[in-house]
A and B are shown apart, each in its own frame.
Chain A
């Protein structure tokens, strides 16, 4: 497949590549990030902001240890959700619902804590494991519903997962304004504070380290599932070609539902990491869109679990940088959101260079008028 374009300078041919060379993928990704920085720099200059100072601050949030710890913290929910998305996207299941799965994960873990605090259920030692289990399960179920609808009735999962995000967010709003509101909280829409044994502090007594461990374990799990398990193999086949999957005897709907459950479950644990890691209690709008950021991270990392860990820390760092920028230079932190979106756009456009090769053929007399 090739297409020729005549230009005054000669003929440009666009060819489809037979294979995607790895170095092209790496280059386009780096270029996307670089271009995004450039674009943001231009915007800042146009607005009249000293962008060198701003960029120094951004770099600092990756070099200063205490900022770095905060970056890692913010990276946990992003990373866990993105790991799940990596699995879902490989399956060609367009889960836009990580945000909602995060929220139900928060509901599950908070619910367990409240049962413990209000009714004295569960032993202190089993509390955290139980929270992991329930948030995984609820997050998984939240993703299983659209997967079921897709597998059995061919209902488009993009829209259902997206719609369920808002349902989950509103569910949290309801709980926190209603039955789950801290009775001693002066009417603020907040849950009670989690006790320490319900928090992610089991490594060096710090959420960042604990979270990093969780992220690495999560990546290892995702890697094992995708590259070494039967399910992972089936997921890849289903994602590539449904007909061939059926032909090879794979139970397609079962695979879609299993894969989606795991994907949603990982995002659910991402939700747990917010309430019992970053915040330490439940409040409305507790996730500033980590589930959406996770989509960018998964794309940036090319769905590779290990790269997802790195990319989430990078994005966690950007979020930290946003806070710093707003606090010390009065530059709104939405600038970071903007930068993330631009990175995303450039990565997507870079896909074209991975798929096609542009060959410059120079002047060719025959084709020219």
Chain B
């Protein structure tokens, strides 16, 4: 029984890390007033590129390239949303569609083979054809991993999981305790006032968007080499949007996002477990709906003015800023 709990918790953390990484960046973007609906597309690009680059150059290169791809895509979004002042929703969706198409294209067997050969001509035939790549090794943290029940669940993971722990803490601290975080939140709340106090609204929004792109790319890399190193077209399967939902559930707070991530991860895990045991043949689908339904309920709750203020919903989310009044 204890083994079972341990392994469920372990997978919950693994699953939750995916959501956590993606939503951490998104929290920054939304706190600055930018809704990044391109998350899903950036994640899947991260996954596809980490697949290809792990085979060609190994894990480290794969992670770097995935982050870079996320940043590049988020820059396109930033230009569209911040400078061209286009509708962020549509722009983000376009980026997601681009990511889904491009990733499927690049990772398609024949295409991938060509790319791999030009990246690293010395690759063996077997590496050119496989749908798999080596997974990131798991590292046990001495002492901590020996704590009963939770030790293994939280301290026997690959490096990206530990990155997510640290990132959540650091990003919470920066957001709420430092000058940069204050500027960021001000820009998302009231860009005109922030501007009048000398905060560079455009720069802050660019940075925040790029951070969200970088984390989305990293989340994609984690999905592939850290969690499920077997390529399937469209393997993010809407997880980017769940991360988006998580941002709302966490009420734009990186620490609360940790809790939410493991809640959603837990729902996923239980759902797979039930399927595994053949228990309740139908229930997995309803369980899978839970994150979406929870998000809708959260959205309804934060529509109440009082709660909204208490929580601190970024007031200028989705609204382009310009000094001219037109």
A residues with CB within 8 A of B:
1, 3, 16, 43, 47-48, 94, 96, 149, 153-156, 158-160, 162-164, 166-167, 170-171, 173-174, 177-178, 292, 295-296, 299, 330-332, 334-342, 344-345, 348-349, 351-352
Chain B interface main SS type: helix
Q: Which of A331, A341, A349 contacts B101 (CB 8 A)?
A: A341
Chain A residues within 8 Å of B84, by CB: 349, 351-352
Find out whether the CB atom of A163 lies under 8 angstroms from the CB atom of B241. Answer: yes
Known contacts A174-B285, A178-B281, A348 near B86 by CB under 8 Å = yes
Chain B residues within 8 Å of A43, by CB: 105
In whole Å, how far is A143's beta carbon from the nearest beta carbon of chain B? 14
Is B104 part of the binding interface, using a Cβ–Cβ cutoff of 8 Å? yes
Known contacts A159-B248, A344-B94, A337 near B101 by CB under 8 Å = yes
Find out whether the CB atom of B293 lies under 8 angstroms from the CB atom of A299. Answer: no
A334 to B108 alpha-carbon distance, docked (Å): 9
Can you list 10 pairs linking A and B with CB atoms under 8 Å apart?
A: A149-B299, A149-B300, A167-B292, A170-B289, A174-B282, A295-B93, A336-B101, A337-B97, A345-B98, A348-B94
In whole Å, how far is A299's beta carbon from the nearest beta carbon of chain B? 7
Is B295 part of the binding interface, using a Cβ–Cβ cutoff of 8 Å? yes
Chain A residues within 8 Å of B289, by CB: 166-167, 170-171
Known contacts A1-B324, A153-B300, A334 near B104 by CB under 8 Å = yes
Chain A residues within 8 Å of B108, by CB: 331-332, 334
Chain A residues within 8 Å of B105, by CB: 43, 332, 334-335, 337-338
Find out whether the CB atom of A149 lies under 8 angstroms from the CB atom of B324. Answer: no
Chain B residues within 8 Å of A167, by CB: 289, 292-293
Chain A residues within 8 Å of B86, by CB: 348-349, 351-352
Q: What class of interface size applies to chain B in its complex with A?
A: 35 or more
Interface-located stretch among B11-19, B109-117, B217-225:
B109-117
Find out whether the CB atom of A178 lies under 8 angstroms from the CB atom of B282. Answer: yes
In whole Å, how far is A130's beta carbon from the nearest beta carbon of chain B? 27
Known contacts A47-B115, A341-B98, A345-B98, A177 near B281 by CB under 8 Å = yes
Known contacts A155-B303, A334-B104, A348 near B285 by CB under 8 Å = no
Find out whether the CB atom of B101 lies under 8 angstroms from the CB atom of A299. Answer: no
A341 to B212 alpha-carbon distance, docked (Å): 21
Find out whether the CB atom of A156 lies under 8 angstroms from the CB atom of B299. Answer: yes
Chain B residues within 8 Å of A160, by CB: 296, 299
Chain A interface main SS type: helix
In whole Å, how far is B312's beta carbon from the nearest beta carbon of chain A? 16
Find out whether the CB atom of B285 lies under 8 angstroms from the CB atom of A162. Answer: no
Chain A residues within 8 Å of B111, by CB: 47, 331-332
A296 to B21 alpha-carbon distance, docked (Å): 29
Q: Mark B112-153, 1 if CB is under 8 A from A, else 0.
A: 001100000000000000000000000000000000000000
Known contacts A167-B292, A177-B285, A159 near B244 by CB under 8 Å = yes
Find out whether the CB atom of A164 lies under 8 angstroms from the CB atom of B296. Answer: yes
Find out whether the CB atom of B286 lies under 8 angstroms from the CB atom of A174. Answer: yes
Q: Which of A166, A173, A177, A334 contacts B238 (CB 8 A)?
A: A166
Known contacts A341-B94, A341-B97, A170 near B285 by CB under 8 Å = yes
Chain B, residue nearest A330 (CB):
B110
Find out whether the CB atom of A339 lies under 8 angstroms from the CB atom of B101. Answer: yes
In whole Å, how far is B106's beta carbon from the nearest beta carbon of chain A? 9
Chain B residues within 8 Å of A299, by CB: 90
A16 to B322 alpha-carbon distance, docked (Å): 13
Find out whether the CB atom of A338 lies under 8 angstroms from the CB atom of B285. Answer: no
Known contacts A334-B105, A349-B80, A154 near B303 by CB under 8 Å = yes
Find out whether the CB atom of A159 lies under 8 angstroms from the CB atom of B299. Answer: yes
Chain A residues within 8 Å of B303, by CB: 149, 153-155
Is B27 part of the binding interface, using a Cβ–Cβ cutoff of 8 Å? no
Is B245 part of the binding interface, using a Cβ–Cβ cutoff of 8 Å? yes
A333 to B171 alpha-carbon distance, docked (Å): 40
In whole Å, how far is B112's beta carbon from the nearest beta carbon of chain A? 10
Top 9 A-B residue pairs of the complex, sorted by shortest distance between their CB atoms: A334-B104, A338-B101, A337-B101, A332-B108, A174-B285, A341-B98, A341-B97, A163-B292, A344-B94
Chain A residues within 8 Å of B95, by CB: 341, 345
In whole Å, how far is A188's beta carbon from the nearest beta carbon of chain B? 15
In whole Å, how far is A133's beta carbon from the nearest beta carbon of chain B? 26
Chain B residues within 8 Å of A295, by CB: 90, 93
In whole Å, how far is B79's beta carbon from the nearest beta carbon of chain A? 9
